[in-house]
Structure 1
Amino acid sequence: MADAPADHLADTPDDTPADLSADAPADPAAGGGVSRRAALLLAAGALAQLSLPRVLPPRAPAAPQVLGAAPLAALLAAHARALRTGRLAALDLAQLDYRATSWDATAVSAELSYRLAGFDDYPVVLGRRFTLAGGALGEESAAPGSAAAPWDLGDPMPVRGARCVVLGPAAPAELTGLAAVADRAVPAVSAVWGTAWAGRLVLQLPTSEVQFTRLLGVDPSSYADIAAVTSAAAGAPVHTPADRVLVNPDAFRLLSAFGKQVVITHESTHVATRADTHPWTPLWLSEGVADYTGYLGTGRTARQIAPELTSDVAAGKLPTALPTDADFSAGSTGIAQAYELSWLACGLIAAEHGQQALVDVYRAVGAAGPGAGRAQQLDRVLGDRLGYGLAEFTRRWIAAVLREVGPAG
């Protein structure tokens, strides 16, 4: 701030009126005069002191009141109604509600449950957090460690296809294009896996890879270069999940039309097989059947589908065992080869025993339960369905790798 001009400072009046200070008696102790008002107060003694405004210590602010459960539930219900009839009206929601899980005077943690009409039989459940001030809800965001809601990224702008709905703030042309790809994927998947699954897809297309990872609730570096992921909705029953196909726009845009179709058909297979997929299902089997379905009928050769594996075999690097679950971790070395090896393993079953045998093996593995161990259960299922166990299957698979992508392939 600039200094005040001298003439402005000179115009500032003294607090003592001129007529009172002229009549004031001298104060010997101070060696100067005091005002008539001050002299009267001094003469009045203690009684006069009581008439002065008292200077009190600052009072601590009152602690904010913590809302009771019923008022808080009413606030959350009103917030849900406002969203459903306002900003999210275009989503055609069959359900949108919040349940408070913990709160204090300044913040609320809650569970958000929502269902898309015509798509979700069971709700998506997400962790949410609100600020709270003056008994009113403030800013809403994803709870720490929770996935974002579709509308956290911007207006979801739903585009509906014949067999799908695509949500996201991406450009309308991208949303429409993705819906067309998904509409082609659904019948391709049903041709292999039957029509017992829902036969409809919910896809989310954000505008960037960072937004993509927010939809997953993971670190942005975890899924770099992954084109799409299928995510089962948290809290949904095992056999009826509200799955989401989440598309990474940065990676997806780099794919050819053929590549986009394979990726979405692959992810749609995960949706169709979700009821038969369990923690004990080996990833080589679940990812292998998804790639098998995605590439089926495309006319591509093994060398075209498995270029990384082809290079490894040409360099003398041969597989000795089926891929482990760790081989499919995002960012792991050799993840491309893991997918290619799995595709060949599932293709081998279909080639030697028929496509239905592959479907039957997959479902039998899921139905077998964890048992004494994954390898033992798989060995038993293969023996029952193919007539030989895991060791013989591995031997045949290695031979198929050499035959399909080796020097003589």
Structure 2
Amino acid sequence: MIQTQHLSAISVAITSDINQLSDSMVRRLHDDVQAGVGLDPALAQRRSERLAAALLSISRALSGSEEPDDKFLAEATLEARETAQAGVDLLELIHTYRVLQSATWDVLLDLTTTLIPDASQQLEIQKWVSQLQHRWHDVVVANVIDAYRSEQHRFFYKSEDHRLRNELRDFIAGRRTARPNTGYPFEGQHLSVVAWGNDPKGTIDLAATLINSEVPLVLESTGGAFLGWLAVKDGQNADAQVIEGDFPDGAHLALGSIDKGFSGFRRSHQRAWRAYKVGRLTGARITRYTDVALEAVFATNMQAVRDLVLQQLGPLLADPRKDILCDTLRAYFSAGCNAVAAAAALQVHERTVAYRLRSIEERLGISVAERHVELLVALRLYGLLKSIAETEIL
């Protein structure tokens, strides 16, 4: 009876503090696991969600539910399949579960010590919890390995386009110099795209139609996304022909740059993929690399983004007028640090801009002119965080 009460108390403590506990584990996972980071934002998000789901699954097991429950096994299996599609090594995936096991045990050990005052009862509960956690971990990892290997075989060796996928992957990575076996015109100009959401293949086909690209190369990627390369005519401003209003609701598209030849094929794809990282986070329907090149540099480490924004703009963001002050700062920088031009853009008196700038400097304790580079970067990244918050990813 006493054991049941203690286990129930631990379960309740995990559930009530799940957000803080999972955030701490996300930071630990990021610090301990670097391989595979940045391959796909959907995969990175799946990993973060897995941590909270794992804690909740163990919490339910402490209350007497099945260990692990079917809901978590389904989520872990889906992540394993997407990891296999991304080409991340199985050992790297298993390592994330070792980190998860260690971090979870630290949480459980801390809770048993905090909630159970009697030392002998602490030891008894810790032994029981340790056995439960090991059983849970062994079952989950066995399922993950099976799902990974099955999906790897299907995705890379059994799918209709498996040979082309492998050739393109090696070609983009620089491991292959021979032209992939397809009729696509590699010598010409390219606009690489990444589509996700509703009917991603259809989204790429529509983009090809809009820019009159007759031979698009389309390939299934990871996390429900599709890759595309669109042949572009010389001198054509294809990027401007892709307009958000031409696409149906739920369709998302990231665009790289227009580049030429074999090296341009790779470069355009790399830039489209970076834009995709940002677009997947923000939920934007159309994301152009030219618009988010800065944000893409930081998109693989959102904790670093938060830290930089807080360090540069913290006191300003605590002000009730933060939106007005940030808009003023953006306008001031866009106007080349010209207060008169900024006032015209904001449609306010120049004295109002001067007053706001003084308020900003007082709150931040710095000269805006001397720190304009750092502040400009922080403002861009703050905009990224706001967009992500609106999509409920953070």
Larger radius of gyration: 1
Q: Which has the higher helix share?
A: 2
**Does TM, normalized by the shorter one, top 0.5?**
no
Q: Provide TM-score, normalisation by structure 2.
A: 0.24
Q: Provide TM-score, normalisation by structure 1.
A: 0.23
Q: Which has the higher strand share?
A: 1
